[in-house]
Amino acid sequence: QVQLVESGGGLVQAGGSLTLSCVASGRTLNYSGLGWFRQAPGNEREFVAAITWSGRPTYYADSVKGRFIITSNNGKNTVFLQMNSLKPEDTAAYYCATTTLGGSRSLNDYHYWGQGTQVTVSS
């Protein structure tokens, strides 16, 4: 079992920044990496970014590449998603999840999920 807790969401104006955190506990050694996904109302959950516990390599959706940065603190089982130059279309609930296929972009490869944290970007 792995438990994931996200934090750091909130309301921000377009162009602003937020940093999300995901703390993992439990049998994290069974999983090679962690990913961030997001889901806006009426939309399917989509891949945002992924990282292995070692910190490299990293993977990004085209829609966030160059604006978001994913990093990990392996010693504290924590992964961060730094979100810069936020746009209204980034508004969504953001979820972290663990995978045995580090770097995967597919929801089906992720096994444990956090409860999500809401990000709202106003125009």
**pLDDT tens-place string over residues 15-30:** 999 999 999 988 877 7
Mean pLDDT of 55-64: 94
Residue 87: partners with Cβ closer than 8 Å, 6 or more residues away: 14, 121
CA distance 38 to 16: 18
Q: Which of 2, 33, 6 is nearest to 115 (CA)?
A: 6
Residues of the chain above pLDDT 90, percent = 78
Instruction: For residue 59, give the 3-state DSSP assignment.
Output: strand
For residues 36 and 79, what is the distance between their CA atoms, to the nearest angstrom?
A: 9
Categorize the per-residue pLDDT at 40 as very low, low, confident or very high, splitting at 50, 70 and 90: very high
